[in-house]
């Protein structure tokens, strides 16, 4: 970040630099922004979304950024400036991966000076660069700009939820709008109150006979293993994933639980008992179209998400039949009397 003076301590810490950067930012509740460019040309507009930045592309000449397009996970598309069909421009694009956040962001103005915004009709945004938590980087610049023209933003949580800008034919001034560091996330009514109806997809039946050829009664144990699999896939908020929020991934998580049921029956001497086991598989899918509240240091911000919660599980019935008469039925929920 460009500063007005030099510190007397040549060993100043990076935290002090970060603190200086933070003081230059505009704080508005949970949002952080710092416009860089010219202050002439009308009132700046701020676009806040219910998503996070997932894609950015732009076009720049050797002196100014002329076009920006930014897509957010809630479907919002923001365009600034005008795209030109010229061979002497730099064009770059960047798609964020699941869980990827900005860790550093620098904006350049096309004029040197200590103030990020200047009242000069020729002042414009000149370049954008950032690095991410996945070790990747993006740079949109028509030439290499000196350090005297750069302004570092405090990225807060690293989640860009909007932009603040002034533009017409070119991008006069610009800033990402970041969320402050996030303390925690809250799901708001994640699953609809209306119950979903499961449907049965597979029925598997096996039958076997247990013969007792001795003169003494013997026991027979029947064992059935059942499983339950749950999956939650979020299709529109992948970039919210962080070290403390691994379950909010666009990639589904599919934990599977298994349990075993055992039932014992007595086979009389010199008789046969027929055992019939029926295992049914059920599935249910519930759409998720609600909100996540990002609770920041100062206030909170609502993020929209979409996804699907699905579950698949087994239920079993074991019937014991002796000489054509049903003795009793054992289900995965317990023993059932035979009328």
Question: What CATH number does residue 114 fall under?
Answer: 2.100.10.30
The residue out of 153, 180, 207 marking a domain boundary is 180
Q: Has residue 63 been placed in a domain?
A: yes
Q: What is the pLDDT of residue 336?
A: 58
Q: Are 160 and 42 within one domain? A: yes
Does the residue 275 lie in any domain? Answer: yes
In a domain, residue 301? The reply is yes
Q: Are 175 and 153 in contact (CB under 8 A)?
A: yes
Q: Are residues 253 and 141 in the same domain?
A: no
pLDDT at position 6, please? 33
**End position of a domain, from candidates 134, 151, 180:** 180
* pLDDT tens profile 231-251: 776 666 654 443 333 333 344
Residue range of the domain that includes 232: 185-336
CB proximity list for 297: less than 8 A, separation 6 or greater = 30, 180, 181, 183
Residue 304's pLDDT is what? 84
Residue 2: inside a domain: no
Predicted pLDDT at 22 = 55
Instruction: Judge if 143 and 197 occupy the same domain.
Output: no
Say if residue 60 is in the same domain as residue 163.
yes
| Among candidate residues 137, 157, 180, the one where a domain is terminated | 180
5 falls within a domain: no
The total domain count for the chain is: 2
Point out the residues of the chain with pLDDT beneath 70.
1-23, 41, 148, 189-196, 233-254, 323-330, 332-339
Evaluate whether residue 260 is within a structural domain. Answer: yes
The pLDDT value given to residue 26: 87
279 close to 330: Cβ distance less than 8 angstroms:
no
Q: Are residues 142 and 26 in the same domain?
A: yes
Partnered with residue 322 across adjacent β-strands are 273, 325
């Amino acid at each position: 970040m460009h500063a007005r003076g030099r510190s007397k301590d040549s060993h100043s810490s990076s935290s002090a630099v970060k603190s200086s950067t933070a003081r230059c930012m505009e704080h508005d509740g949970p949002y952080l922004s710092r416009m860089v460019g010219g202050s002439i040309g009308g009132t700046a507009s701020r676009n806040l979304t219910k998503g996070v930045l997932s894609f950015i592309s732009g076009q720049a000449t050797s002196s100014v950024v002329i076009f920006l397009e930014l897509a957010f996970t809630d479907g919002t598309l923001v365009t600034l400036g005008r795209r030109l069909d010229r061979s002497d421009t730099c064009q770059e694009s960047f798609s964020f991966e699941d869980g990827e956040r900005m860790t550093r962001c620098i904006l350049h103005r096309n004029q040197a000076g200590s103030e990020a915004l200047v009242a000069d009709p020729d002042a414009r945004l000149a370049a954008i660069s950032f690095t991410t938590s996945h070790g990747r980087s993006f740079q949109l610049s028509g030439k290499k700009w000196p350090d005297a023209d750069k302004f570092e933003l405090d990225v807060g949580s690293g989640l860009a939820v909007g932009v603040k800008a002034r533009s017409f034919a070119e991008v006069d001034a610009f800033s990402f709008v970041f969320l402050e560091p996030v303390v925690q996330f809250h799901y708001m009514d994640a699953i609809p109150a209306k119950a979903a109806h499961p449907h049965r997809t597979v029925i598997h039946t096996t039958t076997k006979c247990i013969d007792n050829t001795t003169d003494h009664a013997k026991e027979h144990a029947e064992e059935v293993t059942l499983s339950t699999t749950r999956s939650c896939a979020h299709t529109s908020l992948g970039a919210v994933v962080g070290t403390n929020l691994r379950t909010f991934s666009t990639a589904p998580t599919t934990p599977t639980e298994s349990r075993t049921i055992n039932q014992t029956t007595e086979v009389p001497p010199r008789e046969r008992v027929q055992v019939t086991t029926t295992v049914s598989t059920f599935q249910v899918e519930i759409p998720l179209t609600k909100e996540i509240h990002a609770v920041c240091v100062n206030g909170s911000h609502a993020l929209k998400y979409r996804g699907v919660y699905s579950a698949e599980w087994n239920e079993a019935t074991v019937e014991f039949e002796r000489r054509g008469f049903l003795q009793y039925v054992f289900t995965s929920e317990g023993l059932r009397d035979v009328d």
